[in-house]
Amino acid sequence: MNDINALYSLWCEKAAIDPDLKKELSSIDGKAEEINDRFYRNLEFGTAGLRGIIGAGTNRMNVYTVNQATQGLASYLLSEYDSPSVAIAYDSRIKSTDFAKSAAGVLAGNGIKVYIYPELVPTPMLSFAVRELKCKGGIIITASHNPAEYNGYKCYDPEGYQMTDEAAARTYDFIQKTDMFSGVKSMDFDKAVESGLVEYIGDDIVQKFYDCVEKCCLSKDITARTDLRVIYTPLNGTGNKHVRAMLKRIGIRNVSVVKEQENPDGNFPTCPYPNPEIKQVFECAVKMTEQEKADLLLATDPDCDRVGIAVLDNGEYKLMTGNEVGVLLAEYLLSRRMELGTLPKNAVVVKSFVTTDLVDVVCKKYGASVKKLLTGFKYIGEYITELEAKGEADRFIVGMEESYGYLSGIHARDKDAVVASTLICEMAAYYKEKGISLYEKMQEIYSEHGYYLNRVESFEFKGKTGMEKMAQIMERLRNNRPSSVAGYEVLEVSDYKKSETLCCKTGSVTRIDLPKSNVLSFALEKANGVIIRPSGTEPKIKAYFTARGKIMDEAEKIFASLSEDMKQYLK
């Protein structure tokens, strides 16, 4: 505790030049628990960068932790490249603009050219700028859909996806060698702009991004003539200007915006947890429908890389899951391109391995293959880059994660709610002209292929022994795998830590060509399945269930039995 008190005293001396931090540091004087929480560790830096509560201390997001990370990034880039440049973007969260400008000043202080957006923009536009401006790295200040008191700092590599494990590890080494107060080279932001070391990204880049998104569209003639009615909420984030611009471009004129959630506001007053996966974010939009009905309710998260929808069906707005939207996009893009004669023979849809297997069934219908990757959209970005390097980028149809992230087109290497929102609205207009809603189209797909129910359950293991207990459970599952779950025979076991898939009937083993990960997947008969994945940062194991039935009630019963049976293995 003495070391923590010394650190606290140092911050009171050094960081008190920031009025907000000075006030906070003064308010916790003599409060051991408050001081300890802020200083007992440094924010961890990894492939997802930094993320934490905004405030004073080494365990908080502030200009000092941001500057230290940026100095580490600058040192890494200078060790790897001659004359590197970096693109920077930021969202609507508290302190995002300050953190972005402070990071730009550190990079400029190290002689690194910076391109920064003059206003908040969606995360995929940072990915686009990195590639378009041929930068060696990128920074975006965002905490995605975390609560309002959080902010974050994510780094991107030259290809436009999030920093790889190797690059993150090397950057972290440099960060650890950087003294937070005396080891950072910095330059005043305005002086850096005057000197030319910091340059604002122009509207030409924004328009090029729009052009690339528009090229992904397949039915602009239909969207222009179909009176699709949309209520949109950017959840007080970055999507407002850009999603609306794209909907206007493709001819969707009847778009209303939720006023309470329209303008940027890092406090997120109507939904402190601004996550399009949850029902509450649509409450304001649903209330608007009392005055004006809409075919579709659309919500993008604060950094506009994920999107959720609710669809009008028989007078009720029904939320679609991330899996269902992914299936609908695959069905629409594959069927429409086949109809237009533009579907390549070797088309590929890319998904995380916890995304619904119904995608695979849909792809098989159209002769497309499915590439399954680990969770994390950077893996999808890497795969697209590999396709592009082989001259096969045209094969890529869409990439998706069950957690509401999608990408079509190769303009970005991260999930993109601008292009996803555009295609979802186009798809809704296409089916509306045929007389059906997206919800009804989803029911048609279920009727054709069976009802795939995908649910996630978390099992917590608290206390100091929690992580040890999880390791024991995973080892036990590896060494004593179940032969059946809830009466459904285990057909295959995929061990992503060993990088192999075992066929239980023949005993044959095939290699999994993916980075190693502590994950076990059990493929069961009748298209059911369970995937077990422990968290690497908290004492929690997640179980991803797939239950397939002819109707929803049957799938619900199968899920309940799978869930109940798996509990014996997860305790």
Among all residues, which ones are annotated catalytic?
144
- Hey, what are 302's tokens? 């604060």
Q: Output the 3-class SS for 50-116.
A: EEEEECCCCCCECHHHHHHHHHHHHHHHHHHCCCCEEEEEECCCCCHHHHHHHHHHHHHHCCCEEEE
DSSP percent split of the chain into helix, strand, coil, nearest 5: 45, 20, 35
Beta carbons within 8 Å of 257's beta carbon, 6+ residues apart: 231, 232, 233, 234, 240, 244
Other beta carbons within 10 angstroms of residue 123's beta carbon come to 30
**Phi/psi-derived region of residue 9, left when phi > 0, alpha when psi is between -120 and 50, beta in every other case:** alpha
- Hey, what are 363's tokens? 């792809």
Say which DSSP state 404 is in: T
Q: Are 565 and 558 in contact (CB under 8 A)?
A: no
* Buried/exposed code over 518-554 (b: 16+ C-beta within 10 A; e: otherwise): bbbbbbbeebbbbbbbbbeeebbbbbbbbbbbeeeee
DSSP string, 227-251: ---EEEE-TTSSHHHHHHHHHHHTT
- Hey, what are 92's tokens? 């609507």
Secondary structure of residue 351 in the 3-state scheme: strand
Q: Look-up: residue for tokens 């051991």?
A: 32
Say which DSSP state 43 is in: P
Other beta carbons within 10 angstroms of residue 193's beta carbon come to 19
CA–CA distance, 168 with 186 (Å, rounded to integer): 22
Residue type, 406: Y
Say which DSSP state 13 is in: H
Other beta carbons within 10 angstroms of residue 28's beta carbon come to 19
DSSP strand pairing (500-503 vs 509-511) = antiparallel
Between 322-340 and 417-433, two packed helices, what is the crossing angle to 10 degrees?
A: 70
CA–CA distance, 104 with 100 (Å, rounded to integer): 6
CA–CA distance, 29 with 35 (Å, rounded to integer): 8
